[in-house]
Amino acid sequence: MVSSLISDHQIEVARAGDRTLPVPMTRETGYSKQLSCQIWALDGGLVGRSDGAPDVELTEAAAEGYSRSIIEGEPWRVYTLVNEELGVRVMVGDSLAVRDRLVRDVLEGLLLPAALILPLLAAILWISVAQGLAPLDRLANTLRARAPSDLSPLPEGSAPRELRPVRLALNSLFAKVASARDVERDFTTYAAHELKTPLAGLRTQAQVMRLSDDPGVRANALSAIERSVERTNRMVRQLLDLAAVERSEQELDVTDLGHLMRETVDDLRTLAAERNVVVETVAPDHAMRQRTNPFLLQAALRNVIENAIYASPPEGRVLVALEDGDAAVRFIIRDEGEGIPPELLDRVSTRFTRGRGSGPNGSGLGLSIVASAMERLGGAVQFAPGKGRGQTVRLILN
């Protein structure tokens, strides 16, 4: 617009005597309709202006560039361009009120269609999402209606093809929970049965002591009570150990393996002395440290050594050794007892399975605690015959 206004063929100065008359100029289209243009001679006369432009000078600023002015109480923003060759000063002004109205018109032009279209789009999206999630809702309702004890797998047609991975994952979870529940149910049944036996013996021997006046009979009954208490105490402790091992978190710590082995053996020396069994320890001279869970490792060691003490005959020997291998650390526990029958080796780590002559004090829990602890440690348990007789158990830490 500015260049067209100051071109030679559009600036015509009409003179009437000494007066300079403004020449009206053709308005541009589009946004330029909102602009007001004036051409002033450098000597102060108005040469021309666009339709609707104010009669007064758009700005009093003489310098080129942007400026602000107030015309008839409204703010204007004006750009001034001076052409010395033509002797004119061109002003292009924009009323900020007109600009605000233009912005408002644009927003109204955008918002009105959006206000009509958005509810329709929202309804379409709502229907589409509802239809897409309907199979998931049906699956959720099926699961919600199940009884707590119902862990049967979901049938093939219970979920659409898109939810097949979810159905398979749920069936796998149901199978694991059902298996764990069966194990816990068996555990509770066996534990109740095993605890019932020594408690019944305690009651019987207590009645014998109460009814008998024979000192020998009373002494035998008292000894039987002590054995029953010992067996019950051991079983309760092993049940607590098993529960603690299975809920233990993997809290690893740098552990001195030799010190842990000797500490565990020292805790069992009283039991060994009562059964007239000697426990020997062998470990490297240098300290062996490894990042592991000391609680789980000590639980495994204690139960293996305790089993070896109970399985050993009077005046027997139990060897507890620590070896540092190339890729793993091994605890070796060797006793002189009867050994585990070969046919029981595959299931000797199952709860309440007695593997050898542990006598009335055996509960069948010790090796299951060992297996569970070593599994959580990422290790392994190996059984082998002893040298000549007895049993050798290896606890392997990778």
Domain ranges of the chain: 1-145, 148-247, 250-397
Please name every residue paired with 279 in a beta bridge, in sequence order, or none if there are none: 318
pLDDT, tens digit, for every residue of 53-109?
A: 888 888 887 778 888 888 888 888 889 998 888 888 899 988 888 778 888 888 888
Q: Which CATH class is domain 250-397?
A: alpha beta
Burial of residue 153 (CB within 10 Å: 0-12, 13-18, 19+) is middle
Q: Is the pLDDT of residue 168 over 80?
A: yes
Residue 197 — pLDDT band, cuts 50, 70, 90? low
Dihedral (Cα; 165, 169, 171, 174), 10-degree rounding = -160
d(CA 321, CA 317): 13
Of the CA atoms within 13 Å of residue 95, those in its CB half-sphere come to 15
Mean pLDDT of 168-188: 83
Would you state the pLDDT for residue 149?
83
Helix (H) or strand (E) holding 23: strand 23-25
Would you state the pLDDT for residue 19?
40
**What architecture does CATH give domain 1-145?**
2-Layer Sandwich (3.30)
Q: Is the pLDDT of residue 16 over 50?
A: no
Would you state the pLDDT for residue 31?
47
d(CA 157, CA 223): 65
Q: Which CATH class is domain 148-247?
A: mainly alpha
Helices (H), the chain: 2-5, 96-144, 164-211, 215-247, 257-267, 269-274, 294-311, 366-377
What's this model's pTM, rounded to 2 decimal places? 0.50
